[in-house]
Chains A and B, each alone.
Chain A
Amino acid sequence: MMANLTFDQAKQLSDNFYLLGMAIGDFRYHNWDRLTHEENKELSVTQYSFLKYGEDILAFATTLVMDEVVDSLQKINTITKEINDTIRTLTNIQKGLNVAAAVLILGVAIMNRDTNGIGSSIKDIYETWKSPIA
């Protein structure tokens, strides 16, 4: 039965329990001398129970929100992932620039038939490519 409650209904129930708890308290204080000790105690137990129900329902209403936001959460999480992918792409451009510079040196080494230069250029390209994105 509770599972079918909506957030708004749960909130309304909580308000009702709060008002009932308050009303019982006011009743006890206005009729303090007319009530027996047992009657007063019994009313006090009921009053605290009402307050507890009202508090519990507020927490319960919060868990109900999950059912209402599942789709929205999924959409935002997908968009956030796309945003982070775009950021990664843009950061990769810097890496591309650095690699382009290293390739340029390699090209010159090849043109000059410089064996040592080719070896060290390849090593440079490899290291630039492997280096983490700043």
Chain B
Amino acid sequence: MKKHFVKNRSLIFVFLLFSSVGCINLKTVGEFAGTSTLGIKNFEQIEYSFYQHCLDRCRDEAIRKYEIKRGEECTCTLYQEADSVTQVIYNSMEGYFEGLGKLSQNELTDYSSDALVSALSAKELGPVRIEEQTAAAFSSLSSTLLRATTDFYRRKKLASYIEDANEPMQVLLAKFRLIIGTNLKGELRFKKERMYTYYMDMKMNNTLLSDYEKGKATSDYYNILDEIQRKELVLEVFAKSLDEIAGGHQMLYDNRNNLSVKTLKGILQGYSSNVKDLISEFNKLNN
């Protein structure tokens, strides 16, 4: 009896150890990774690219010079290369966050022991009869233990992946932010200047005679300006969400070993909530 008691206590101890020693809270990591994946995936919704900018420029130039050809001539190799670099960085980051999210989802280790229960309580077991209720209890206990060990394993793995990934991830997020928030957005600044010059030249040359034409040209110019500014804002909001994701990942890394579940949840919730707000702002601007 005493031996049985000691054995039970050991089991409970092992169970508690597996449940509590884990450094990272799975649900919190899962939520943060999920929000980050959504935020990063908005890149696919941005209706602007370096290549598109190059095509627009060719079109604008053809209009300005009044060039009519059988086909548009536009060399955009450099711009296509810039898009390729952006795409490679995006793919890498998206793959990482998606993997992190999947690994921290509880469904991953939601094992079903139905097959074992059926086998244990099967009639073919011959002279040995195990009641279905007993088999189910055994199954429930084994599932709980299995869950505890695999969750412990996942926590340890996650903490190690986050530790290894933080430095390269911060580099990638910072560069990606620079590409979108500075370079791609910067291209639009040139488009604005080209449009300003085009309409100003038209005005200074007195090309337009009627009041209607002048009004129409002015209205066209400001409409174009509005559209460019909307695109700039979309890129800016997306870039801000990358900052929040980088901040959240850094926080996860800084506290991977020494934060209680509750505190970690509280801190990461701030980043996740900011990313969610920016996703919603992005969607409003992009529609």
Contacts and interface: CB of A to CB of B under 8 A. Distances in A.
A117 B119 CA distance: 13
B81 interface: yes
Interface in B91-111: 92-93, 95-96, 99-100, 102-103, 108-109, 111
A87 B99 contact: yes
Interface residues of A, number: 57
A105 B196 contact: no
Nearest to B113: A97
A23 to B, nearest CB: 11
Interface in A12-59: 14, 18, 21-22, 25, 29, 32, 44, 47-48, 51-52, 54-56, 58-59
B251 interface: no
Interface stretch (B14-22, B184-192, B211-219, B279-287): B184-192
Q: Which of B118, B167, B196, B197 has the most CB of A within 10 A?
A: B197
Categorize the interface residue count of chain B.
Answer: 35 or more
* Interface class of chain B by DSSP: helix
A5 interface: no
A60 B111 CA distance: 51
Given A48-B194, A65-B178, A83-B96, A72 B186 contact: no
A54 to B, nearest CB: 6
B92 A56 contact: no
A44 B161 contact: no
A62 B82 contact: yes
Interface of A: 7, 11, 14, 18, 21-22, 25, 29, 32, 44, 47-48, 51-52, 54-56, 58-63, 65-66, 68-69, 71-73, 75-77, 79-80, 82-84, 86-87, 90-91, 93-94, 97-98, 100-102, 104-105, 108-109, 111-112, 114, 117
Given A59-B78, A97-B112, 16 more contacts: A25-B196, A47-B197, A59-B50, A59-B183, A62-B184, A63-B81, A63-B85, A65-B179, A66-B85, A68-B171, A73-B172, A76-B95, A87-B102, A87-B103, A102-B119, A105-B124
Interface of B: 50, 53-54, 57, 61, 78-79, 81-82, 85-86, 88-89, 92-93, 95-96, 99-100, 102-103, 108-109, 111-113, 115-116, 118-120, 122, 124-126, 146, 150, 153-154, 157, 161, 164-165, 167-169, 171-172, 175, 178-179, 182-184, 186-187, 189-190, 193-194, 196-197, 200-201, 204
